[in-house]
C-alpha cells in the first residue's frame, strides 16, 4: 500500500522532466496512474467483503515506538475506489478540457500529489501520518484552486481555502496529540479498545471539539462553508475531483473513522445532528438564489455534506448504512454534474442558467449524462439515488420522539436538492435552443464519456444494488462498528411510509422546479442579506485584524532597532522578574565570600571605568574601545578563577566584536546625533534593571541543588569515547557536533547575507527612490 500511495508523488516528480511531452498528444497517458491504482484496490473487494482487514506496518520512529501503519477495511476501500476511480475519469477529461494548456503538466502534477495525499489520508492507521497527509491535501488543493493564478479571484479563493482548512489542520494536530497522550498509542486500530478510557478522560470534550473543528472546516460545514463556493474559481476538473468525491469528504471520513472511538456520546451525536441539519438546510436554500451552474453545485455539495454529518450524528445502524450508501450516490451524480457543467462552459462560454437551454440538440450524449445524473440526485427510481434517499428517510423515521422533526428536515432538504439538480442537469438541455448556441458542437469523446459513465453507473447500481452491497456497503458499515449481517439493498420495498415520503419529495421538488425559475432578482435578494453571512463576518474580522496589525506595526515596528531590543528586554524583565519576585529562595552568605585580591580590585575598577566611559563619551570610536576594555576585564576574571578556555572565548568574541563595530562605524556619517538625554536615561534604567535581573537569576541558579549526572557523564566519557581531554571542546565537537555544525551554518549564512548587503551597489534609479 505504501508503494500505491507513493506512486502519485513519483508520477508528479517524473512530470518535472517529462512534462513537455505530456502537453501534446500524450496527455491521456497520465490516466494510467489512477486507473492502475483503481484496479489495484479493486482486487481487494472480495477479501474485504469476506470480513478481512488488510494491514501493513513499517517502522517509522522506533525510538518513540511510532510505526507507519496503513489499514484497508470497508470504509477506507470505498474512499480509495472513489479517489482512484473518479480520479481516472478526471485525468481523462482533463486531457481534452485543458488540451494545449501551457501548464498542463503542472496541473497533472498537482492532481497526482493530491490523489496520493488523499490515499494516504484514508489508508493511514497512524494518526500522525494521517495529519501529514491531511495537510498535504490542503497544500495541493491550494495550488489546484489557484491554478489560474493570473486571476485575482482565483488567488484569493485559494488563499481563503488554505486559511480555513489550515486552521482545521492545526486543530486536528492538537486533537490527535492529546488523543495519543490519553490512549498511549498513535494507532487508530489500537484506540478501538480504549473507547471507555477516552470517554472517561477529562480531555474527552477538548479532543472531540478539536476533531470537529478539523472536520467541519475541511467538509465545509456551517459556518465554515463559504470557502467552497469561492473554490469554484478553479478549473472544472478540480471542482469535480476535490468537491464531489475527495477533499470535501476528508472531514466526513475523519468523523466516520473516529465514530467507533469517540462516538455514542451525547456531545458527539447532538453536535453532529445540529451542525449537519443546519448546514444541509441552509445550503439547500441557497441553491434557489444562484444562477451560476457551479454556484448551484457548490451549495448543493455543501448540503449533501451536511446530510452526511447529520447521518453520522444519528449514529444508528440505519443512519450509518444510509451514510455509506449516500457517499457513493453523491460521488456518482455530483461528479457527473460537475463534468457536464465544465462541458457546457467549455463549449458555450457561459454557466448562466438564465440563458442556457436546448443544448440537447447539439450535445445529446452530454444531455443524457446530465439528465440521468439529475434523476439520481432527485432520488427518482430506478436510480441509485432513490435507494440512498430511502435509506435516509428510513434512518430518521426510527429516531423516536424527534423522528417527525428530523424527517421533515430531510424531506425539505431533498426537495430543494432535487430543484438544484434539475436546474443544473436538466434545464440547460431542455426547451428551445437560443440562436447564439446554434454553432455549439459536441466536444471530444474524452470529455463527454466520463460523465456518461458516471451517469449510467448511477442507474445500473440502482437496478442491481448487489454490485456494491456485499463488496462495499456491508464492510463499510462493519468498519463503523455496526452489525451489517441483515443489510439487504433493494429497489422496491413495497408501499410504506418511506415510499410516500419519496413520492412527496419528487412531486413537490418537480413542482418547485417548474414554478420557480432562476433569475437575477433572486440573486439580488440574497445579496441584501450578505451583511449577516458568515463569510462577510469573517472577512470583516480579517480586515479589522489587518487594520489593527498595521496600526500596531506603525507603533512597535517603527524602524529603530534600539526600540525593538528595548521592547524585548522590558518584556523579559516583567515576565522573569515577576516569577523571581514570587519564587526567589536564595540567601547571600557574606561569610562564604573569598577575600578580594589586589588584582581583582584593579580589574573591577578597570571594568567600571570602561563602562562609565562607554556610556558618557561623545566619541563612538572611544565607546567601542571602552567596550573592548570591559570585555578584556571579564576575560581576566575568568583567568583568575581557573577558566582559561572561557577567557580565550571571551577575548576572541570581544576582539571580533570591536573589529566589526569599527567597520560599521567607518561606514556611518560622522557626528550623527541619533540619541538624546531622555533616551539615554531610559536606556540606562532598562540596562540596570535587566542587569539586576540577570544577577538575581544567577544567584538563584547557584543556590539550587546541583545534579552532576550530566557533567559526570561527559567528564568520564570525554576521553574514552571521543579521545579528547578538553571536556568543553569534546561536547561541542563530538557529543553535540551536529548542533555545532548547524550553528556554524547559520552564522555562515548570516555572514554571507551581511557581506552581500555591504557589497550591494544599487542602480541610481533605486538609490534615488
Check residue 762 and give its pLDDT: 58
How many Cβ atoms from other residues are within 10 Å of residue 456's Cβ?
A: 16
Average pLDDT over residues 284-306: 94
Instruction: State whether 4 and 97 are in the same domain.
Output: yes
Q: Which helix (H) or strand (E) holds 72?
A: strand 66-72
Quote the distance between the C-alpha of residue 192 and its chain's center.
25
**With a threshold of 0.85, does the pTM exceed it?**
no
Whether 697 maps to a domain, the answer reads yes
Output the pLDDT for position 353. 93
Q: Are residues 571 and 545 in the same domain?
A: no
The three-class DSSP label of residue 533 is: coil
- CA angle, residues 117, 119, 120, in degrees to nearest 5: 65
Query: Under a CB-based contact definition with an 8 Å cutoff, are residues 293 and 342 in contact?
Result: no
Q: Is 86 helix (H, G, I), strand (E, B) or coil?
A: helix
- Distances from the Cα of 170 to the Cαs of 64, 210, 287, 426, in angstroms? 22, 9, 31, 41
Asked if 635 and 734 sit in the same domain, the reply is no
Q: Is 367 within the bounds of a domain?
A: yes
Q: Per-residue pLDDT tens for 364-373?
A: 999 999 999 9
Residues 687 and 752 in one domain: no
CA-CA distance, 305 to 279, in Å (whole number)? 8
Q: Which of residues 201, 233, 253 is at a domain's end?
A: 253
- Name the nearest CA neighbour of 262 among 169, 175, 392: 175
Kindly tell me the burial class for residue 202, based on how many C-beta atoms sit within 10 Å of its own C-beta (0-12, 13-18, 19 or more).
Answer: exposed
Predicted local confidence at residue 647, as pLDDT: 87
Question: pLDDT band for position 761 (50/70/90)?
Answer: low
pLDDT at 138: 93
- pLDDT for 377: 95
Lowest mean pLDDT among 27-31, 702-706, 726-730: 702-706
Shared domain check, 332 and 228: no
* Structure confidence at residue 707 (pLDDT): 72
What does the alpha-carbon distance between residue 212 and residue 217 come to, in Å, rounded to a whole number? 8
Residue 26 pLDDT level (bands cut at 50, 70, 90): confident
3-state secondary structure of 43: coil
Among residues 487, 518, 549, the one where a domain terminates is 518
Which CATH number goes with the domain that contains 713? Answer: 1.20.120
Q: In total, how many domains does the chain have?
A: 5
Give 556's pLDDT tier (boundaries 50, 70, 90). confident
Which of 198-212, 541-555, 640-654 is predicted most confidently? 198-212
Q: Is the pLDDT of residue 379 over 80?
A: yes
How high is the pLDDT of residue 170?
95
Residues 596, 663, single domain; the answer is yes
Predicted confidence (pLDDT) at residue 766 exceeds the cutoff of 50:
no
> How far is C-alpha 15 from the chain's CA centre?
25
Look at residue 681 and tell me if it is in a domain: yes
Q: Which domain holds residue 572?
A: 559-717
H or E, element range at 688: helix 677-703
Predicted local distance difference test score (pLDDT) of residue 765: 47
Lowest-pLDDT choice from 359-368, 544-553, 656-665: 656-665
Which tens digit of pLDDT belongs to each residue from 94-143?
999 988 888 888 899 999 999 999 999 999 999 999 999 999 999 999 99
Position 426 in a domain: yes
Report the alpha-carbon distance of residue 742 to residue 756 in Å, rounded: 21
pLDDT above 70 as % of the chain:
96
Residues 588 and 544 in one domain: no
- Assess if residue 127 is contained within a domain: yes
- Per-residue model confidence (pLDDT) at position 385: 93
- Same domain, residue pair 99 and 246: yes
| 709 and 722 co-located in one domain | no
- pLDDT number for residue 511: 96
Which helix H or strand E contains 44, and what residues bound it? none
708 & 740 share domain: no
For the segment 672-694, the average pLDDT, to the nearest whole number, is: 83
Kindly state whether residue 725 falls inside one of the protein's structural domains.
yes
DSSP state of 158: H
Q: Quick check: is 266 in a domain?
A: no
**Residues paired with residue 71 on neighbouring β-strands, in sequence order:** 55
End of a domain among 518, 541, 571? 518
Beta strand 66-72 pairing with 54-61: antiparallel
Q: Which residue has the higher pLDDT, 594 or 529?
A: 529
**Other Cβ atoms within 10 Å of 488 Cβ, number:** 10
211, part of any domain: no
Give the pLDDT confidence score for residue 477 in this predicted structure.
93
The pLDDT tens digits of the residues spanning 608-618 come to 999 888 888 87
Sequence-distant (6+) residues with CB within 8 A of 608 are none
- 413 and 437, same domain (yes or no): yes
**The pLDDT of residue 498:** 93
Instruction: Note the pLDDT of residue 670.
Output: 65
Q: Are 356 and 350 in contact (CB under 8 A)?
A: yes
Tens digit of each residue's pLDDT (9 = 90 or more) over 495-544: 899 999 999 999 999 999 999 998 888 888 888 888 888 888 888 888 89
Mean pLDDT of the chain, nearest integer: 88
470 vs 763, more confident: 470
pLDDT for residue 521: 87
Q: Given this model, what pLDDT does residue 522 score?
A: 85
706/768 same-domain check: no
Amino acid at each position: 500500500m505504501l508503494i500505491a500511495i507513493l506512486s502519485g508523488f513519483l508520477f508528479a516528480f517524473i512530470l518535472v522532466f517529462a512534462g513537455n511531452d505530456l502537453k501534446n498528444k500524450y496527455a491521456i497517458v497520465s490516466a494510467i496512474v489512477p486507473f492502475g491504482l483503481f484496479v489495484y484496490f479493486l482486487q481487494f473487494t472480495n477479501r474485504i467483503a469476506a470480513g478481512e482487514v488488510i494491514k501493513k506496518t513499517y517502522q517509522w520512529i522506533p525510538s518513540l515506538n511510532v510505526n507507519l501503519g496503513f489499514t484497508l477495511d470497508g470504509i477506507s476501500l470505498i474512499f480509495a475506489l472513489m479517489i482512484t476511480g473518479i480520479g481516472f475519469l478526471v485525468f481523462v477529461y482533463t486531457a481534452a478540457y485543458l488540451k494545449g494548456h501551457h501548464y498542463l503538466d503542472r496541473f497533472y502534477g498537482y492532481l497526482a500529489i493530491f490523489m496520493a495525499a488523499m490515499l494516504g489520508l484514508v489508508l493511514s492507521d497512524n494518526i500522525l501520518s494521517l495529519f501529514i497527509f491531511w495537510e498535504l491535501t490542503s497544500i495541493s488543493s491550494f495550488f489546484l484552486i489557484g491554478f489560474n493564478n493570473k486571476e485575482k479571484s482565483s488567488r484569493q479563493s485559494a488563499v481563503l481555502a488554505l486559511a480555513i482548512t489550515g486552521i482545521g489542520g492545526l486543530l486536528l494536530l492538537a486533537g490527535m496529540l492529546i488523543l495519543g497522550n490519553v490512549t498511549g498509542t498513535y494507532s487508530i486500530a489500537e484506540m478501538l479498545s480504549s473507547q471507555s478510557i477516552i470517554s472517561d478522560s477529562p480531555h474527552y470534550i477538548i479532543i472531540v471539539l478539536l476533531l470537529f473543528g478539523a472536520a467541519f472546516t475541511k467538509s465545509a460545514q456551517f459556518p465554515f462553508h463559504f470557502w467552497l463556493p469561492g473554490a469554484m474559481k478553479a478549473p472544472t476538473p478540480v471542482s469535480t475531483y476535490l468537491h464531489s468525491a475527495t477533499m470535501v469528504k476528508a472531514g466526513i471520513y475523519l468523523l466516520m473513522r473516529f465514530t467507533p472511538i469517540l462516538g455514542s456520546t451525547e456531545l458527539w451525536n447532538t453536535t453532529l445532528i445540529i451542525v449537519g441539519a443546519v448546514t444541509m438546510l441552509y445550503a439547500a436554500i441557497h441553491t434557489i438564489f444562484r444562477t451560476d451552474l457551479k454556484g448551484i453545485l457548490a451549495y448543493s455539495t455543501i448540503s449533501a455534506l451536511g446530510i452526511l454529518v447529520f447521518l453520522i450524528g444519528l449514529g444508528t445502524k440505519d443512519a450509518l448504512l444510509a451514510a455509506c450508501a449516500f457517499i457513493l450516490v453523491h460521488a456518482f451524480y455530483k461528479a457527473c454534474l460537475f463534468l457536464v457543467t465544465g462541458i457546457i462552459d467549455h463549449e458555450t462560454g457561459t454557466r448562466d442558467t438564465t440563458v442556457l437551454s436546448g443544448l440537447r440538440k447539439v450535445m445529446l450524449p452530454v444531455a443524457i449524462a446530465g439528465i440521468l445524473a439529475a434523476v439520481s440526485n432527485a432520488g427518482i427510481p430506478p436510480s441509485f439515488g432513490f435507494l440512498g434517499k430511502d435509506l435516509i428517510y428510513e434512518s430518521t423515521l426510527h429516531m423516536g420522539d424527534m423522528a417527525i422533526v428530523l424527517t421533515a428536515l430531510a424531506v425539505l432538504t431533498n426537495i430543494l436538492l432535487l430543484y438544484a439538480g434539475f436546474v443544473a442537469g436538466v434545464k440547460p438541455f431542455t426547451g428551445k435552443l437560443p440562436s447564439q448556441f446554434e454553432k455549439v458542437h459536441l466536444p471530444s469523446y474524452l470529455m463527454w464519456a466520463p460523465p456518461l459513465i458516471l451517469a449510467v453507473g448511477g442507474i445500473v447500481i440502482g437496478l442491481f444494488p448487489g454490485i456494491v452491497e456485499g463488496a462495499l456497503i456491508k464492510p463499510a458499515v462493519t468498519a463503523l462498528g455496526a452489525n451489517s449481517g441483515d443489510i439487504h439493498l433493494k429497489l422496491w420495498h413495497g408501499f410504506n411510509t418511506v415510499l410516500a415520503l419519496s413520492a412527496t419529495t419528487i412531486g413537490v421538488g418537480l413542482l418547485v422546479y417548474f414554478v420557480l425559475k432562476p433569475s437575477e432578482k433572486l440573486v439580488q435578494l440574497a445579496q441584501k442579506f450578505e451583511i449577516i453571512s458568515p463569510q462577510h463576518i469573517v472577512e470583516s474580522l480579517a480586515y479589522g485584524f489587518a487594520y489593527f496589525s498595521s496600526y500596531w506595526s506603525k507603533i512597535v515596528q517603527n524602524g529603530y532597532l534600539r526600540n525593538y531590543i528595548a521592547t524585548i528586554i522590558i518584556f523579559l524583565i516583567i515576565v522573569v522578574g515577576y516569577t523571581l519576585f514570587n519564587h526567589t529562595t536564595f540567601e547571600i552568605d557574606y561569610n562564604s565570600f573569598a577575600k578580594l585580591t589586589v588584582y581583582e580590585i584593579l580589574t573591577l575598577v578597570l571594568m567600571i571605568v570602561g563602562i562609565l566611559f562607554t556610556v558618557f563619551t561623545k566619541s563612538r570610536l572611544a565607546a567601542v574601545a571602552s567596550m573592548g576594555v570591559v570585555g578584556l576585564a571579564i576575560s581576566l576574571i575568568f583567568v583568575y578563577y581557573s577558566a582559561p578556555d572561557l577567557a580565550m572565548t571571551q577575548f576572541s568574541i570581544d576582539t571580533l566584536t570591536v573589529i566589526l563595530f569599527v567597520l560599521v562605524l567607518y561606514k556611518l556619517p560622522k557626528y550623527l546625533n541619533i540619541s538624546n538625554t531622555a533616551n539615554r536615561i531610559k536606556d540606562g534604567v532598562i540596562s540596570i534593571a535587566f542587569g539586576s535581573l540577570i544577577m538575581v537569576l544567577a544567584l538563584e541558579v547557584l543556590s539550587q541543588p546541583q545534579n552532576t549526572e550530566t557533567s559526570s557523564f561527559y567528564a568520564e566519557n570525554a576521553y574514552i569515547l571521543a579521545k579528547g581531554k578538553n571536556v568543553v571542546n569534546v561536547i561541542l565537537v563530538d557529543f553535540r557536533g551536529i548542533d555545532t555544525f548547524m550553528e556554524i551554518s547559520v552564522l555562515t549564512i548570516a555572514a554571507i547575507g551581511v557581506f552581500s548587503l555591504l557589497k550591494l551597489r544599487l542602480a541610481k534609479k533605486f538609490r534615488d527612490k
